[in-house]
Amino acid sequence: MYKLPHHRRRYAGVAVAAVLRLARVPLAVMALGCFGFAAASPPDVVVTNAWARPTVPGQTVGAAYLDLTSAHGATLALVQSDAAATVQVHAMSIDGDVMRMREVDRLALPAGKTVRLAPSGMHLMLLQLKKPLRPGDSVALDLTVVDEAGSPHIVHAIAPVRMMPLQQGTP
């Protein structure tokens, strides 16, 4: 039988111990499930019609749009993307002749209703873009949704970068 050299045996023992420790994690999770302590199931949140507007070189701010539908009611608490340093939910309003934008900390997703984030309304602001958004690219979005029990869940979405649709109301 082959024996590892002495200096390698120590590392092999550490590796085996780590694997054995990790093997206990799934068993512990299964045991918790048997006793009713498993994590809450994720809310049924569906993302549709996601897209992002192209930017020009040097532009550091972009926008993404999508529709969110939650079967059981939830709250959009956070959005992250590798394409930007920060992603914020913004609301737009017209005050006289002035368009105003403000950040929305949390966005309610009522049960069974679709919440539309679209141009000239609620939208996602992509701040400090890491590179220009070009047609044909896509933006990965990680949406942190909090269910009615207060448990956070991540919903992944891909927003293709494309020009704004010509028809009003079409994503």
- CA–CA gap between residue 3 and residue 97 (Å, rounded): 81
Residue 78, pLDDT score: 97
Say if residue 49's pLDDT is above 60: yes
Residue 94, pLDDT score: 84
CA 145 to chain centre: 8
Task: Set out the domains of the chain in order of their start, with CATH numbers.
Answer: 45-161 (2.60.40.1890)
Which residues, listed in sequence order, are joined to residue 144 by a DSSP beta bridge?
A: 78, 154
Higher pLDDT, 41 or 112: 112
Mean pLDDT of 159-166: 86
DSSP letters along 6-57, please?
HHHHHHHHHHHHHHHHHHHHHHHHHHHHHTT-SPPPPP-EEEEEEEE----T
What is the pLDDT confidence band of residue 71, given thresholds at 50, 70 and 90? very high
- CA–CA gap between residue 43 and residue 154 (Å, rounded): 10
Say if residue 137's pLDDT is above 90: yes
Verdict on whether the full-model pTM lies above 0.75: no
What is the pLDDT confidence band of residue 2, given thresholds at 50, 70 and 90? very low
Tally of helices (H runs) and strands (E runs) in the chain: 1, 10
Residue 43, pLDDT score: 61
- CA–CA gap between residue 123 and residue 130 (Å, rounded): 19
What is the pLDDT confidence band of residue 99, given thresholds at 50, 70 and 90? confident
Sign of CA dihedral 15, 16, 21, 25: positive
